[in-house]
Chains A and B, each alone.
Chain A
């Protein structure tokens, strides 16, 4: 081999290696980025908390019974404790990175547990004051107010040296994604419930019942065209068709989870139809023939012989569909809106996890940490779905082979 030829050969080879390296390298960067940004916020609180903080203005009755609980040894050194009020406070940061003062401990005989809601003075109802909440302001009758920016140490000092309190403003933590998680589950359930039967029936019709004629060809190509339509267009359709339809038929008065699910169902139809058809095609014709030769009709043959063999394929289709629902953003922005909600109703607006990310990133300033944390959750689910699909298809291949 000539030298020149060798050089050219190596150059090409190096280019190939480089390309593969670049592709895999850049793509693993995505994972690294998402994890390094998001892991800090990943905890149970995030998943179960509301997104919107609720604020309370608490005040105390005239005669205060002070606490006698001494500082528990379990508290860490950064917590400041007032024995008199039975309250431990700590400096912390919230999910947007702002400094906050958090309630770390409340003694069971703390007078603060008997606060009533100041905003609602006619009914002297008690309000819940518990660990994990944020204290943003403590006002006194006889001295200046202590605020978040004074820090936990001074706040506790002021409190400990007081005999009474005019008002305590505190709130829940907020920034949680419970609402979006619930919405995502609703979307998955409703979408699958709509798209799966229609998709499977269509696949059965096209593969088992349809005659090879022009009408079938037209029906089939109409369905195939759907695959090439970008999801934002589906979103527009959801907005133009399903939103008004659901407003008319249900109690909804705006875009809602049902209109979102219907839109997603249309997006998923071609996916489900194709995956189901693929698995129906694998079922050998002799099985159909021998079932028919035994006097079974087409319906019996389809449901008793063909469909059971196609179940792994249908399962795969379902998992693919779930992945698509979790990942879809553009269509849902139009079909159920972008308002992050805590009280989820299927007749109202809310956001799925993906749209939640988009909402966070479109805010000024963008909240990359929270968005990354949600992305971790999404990636985990997608990863899990993929592994399951692989296992199913492996088993399926083994059984057939």
Chain B
């Protein structure tokens, strides 16, 4: 088994003339939760979005260096982006279910891959909803519009939607920032359960959250990776002064 899912070497990322990421070197380990922390605008979300090439959507964005996923450079020309995104799922900051039924939301991805068999789809939807710990709450109204769910439920549905693709990695971009504390707790529990099966990379603003759920933590500042290591170590004995300042709340 490969231990490293992602291997990032000398990653530079520009928005036009502005350099948003500077010489990032990082490895993401299999079946672990990696948290990305840092003040606003430090590039952590940008970094996350470069892992499944969502930055392609921005015309003026370009990249140097390389990101290897399963030992293939994902920015090499001819690389199958859509295939990449089926393997590297993503959950966004604000819950954003499609304006369709709960069922159709979860079945959306598999359907896009050409799965039409009703039985297969049912199975996928059920198991995904179960994995995302939302099945019990919605099983009786699976044909209801997804927008009728509460914010926390919507976010878990979005996680279920990502799981339905059977990805290897799930990227989460501040998944709890728009939720109340109870909903947040549920998502955190869910993340804990999911890490047995999936590699998770999560961007968070909340340092306690990073400490609670992650195995590794990476600290970003002004587009640079300052420090990366086991979460315990980062939070108890950081090597860098800047990391310590940030964690202890002296800035950011």
Q: Are B82 and A297 in contact (CB under 8 A)?
A: yes
Interface presence of A145 (CB below 8 A): no
Q: Are B85 and A293 in contact (CB under 8 A)?
A: yes
Across the interface, which residues of A come within 8 angstroms of B112, CB to CB?
Answer: 291, 294-297, 300, 304
Q: Are A296 and B59 in contact (CB under 8 A)?
A: no
Q: Are B54 and A292 in contact (CB under 8 A)?
A: yes
Q: Are B96 and A284 in contact (CB under 8 A)?
A: yes
Closest Cβ neighbor of B93 among chain A residues: A286
Per the 8 Å Cβ criterion, residues 279-326 of A in contact with B are 284, 286-297, 300, 304-305, 308-309
Contact with A along B160-171 (1 / 0, CB 8 A): 011001000001
Pick from A289, A300, A305, A309: contact of B54, CB under 8 Å: A289
Q: Are B54 and A294 in contact (CB under 8 A)?
A: no
Across the interface, which residues of B come within 8 angstroms of A390, CB to CB?
Answer: none
User: How big is chain B's contact interface, by range?
Assistant: 20 to 34
Per the 8 Å Cβ criterion, residues 177-215 of A in contact with B are 211-212
Interface presence of B99 (CB below 8 A): yes
How many of A's residues come within 8 Å of B, CB to CB?
Answer: 21
Pick from A212, A288, A295, A399: contact of B82, CB under 8 Å: A295
Pick from A284, A286, A291, A399: contact of B108, CB under 8 Å: A291
Bound-state Cα–Cα, A312 to B109, Å: 25
Interface presence of B57 (CB below 8 A): yes
Across the interface, which residues of B come within 8 angstroms of A309, CB to CB?
Answer: 99
Q: A284-B96, A286-B96, A309-B99 are in contact. Are A295 and B57 (CB under 8 A)?
A: no
Q: A294-B161, A295-B83 are in contact. Are A286 and B98 (CB under 8 A)?
A: no
Give the tally of cross-chain contacts (CB within 8 A): 67
Q: Say how far A388's CB is from chain B's closest CB, in angstroms.
A: 22
Q: Are A290 and B90 in contact (CB under 8 A)?
A: yes
Interface presence of B158 (CB below 8 A): yes
Interface presence of B92 (CB below 8 A): yes
Bound-state Cα–Cα, A290 to B105, Å: 11
Q: Are B165 and A292 in contact (CB under 8 A)?
A: no
Across the interface, which residues of A come within 8 angstroms of B89, CB to CB?
Answer: 293-294
Per the 8 Å Cβ criterion, residues 67-90 of B in contact with A are 82-83, 85-86, 89-90
Per the 8 Å Cβ criterion, residues 192-244 of A in contact with B are 211-212
Closest Cβ neighbor of B86 among chain A residues: A295
Q: Are B92 and A290 in contact (CB under 8 A)?
A: yes
Interface presence of B40 (CB below 8 A): no
Across the interface, which residues of B come within 8 angstroms of A399, CB to CB?
Answer: 99
Across the interface, which residues of B come within 8 angstroms of A308, CB to CB?
Answer: 99-100
Pick from A211, A212, A294, A305: contact of B85, CB under 8 Å: A294
Closest Cβ neighbor of A213 among chain B residues: B59
Q: A212-B59, A290-B161 are in contact. Are A296 and B98 (CB under 8 A)?
A: no
Bound-state Cα–Cα, A297 to B112, Å: 8
B: residues with CB less than 8 A from A are 52, 54, 57, 59, 82-83, 85-86, 89-90, 92, 94, 96, 98-100, 108-109, 112-113, 158, 161-162, 165, 171
Instruction: Identify 25 residue pairs between A and B in the complex whose beta-carbon atoms are under 8 Å apart, listed by A's number.
Output: A212-B59, A289-B54, A289-B90, A290-B90, A290-B92, A290-B96, A291-B98, A291-B112, A292-B54, A292-B57, A293-B52, A293-B54, A293-B89, A293-B92, A294-B85, A294-B108, A294-B112, A294-B161, A295-B85, A296-B109, A300-B112, A304-B112, A305-B108, A308-B99, A399-B99
6 new A-B contacts, CB < 8 A, other than A290-B92, A292-B54, A293-B85, are A290-B161, A292-B57, A293-B162, A294-B86, A294-B108, A294-B162
A: residues with CB less than 8 A from B are 211-212, 284, 286-297, 300, 304-305, 308-309, 399
Smallest CB-CB A-B distances: 9 pairs? A295-B86, A293-B90, A294-B109, A286-B96, A296-B112, A295-B85, A300-B112, A295-B82, A297-B82
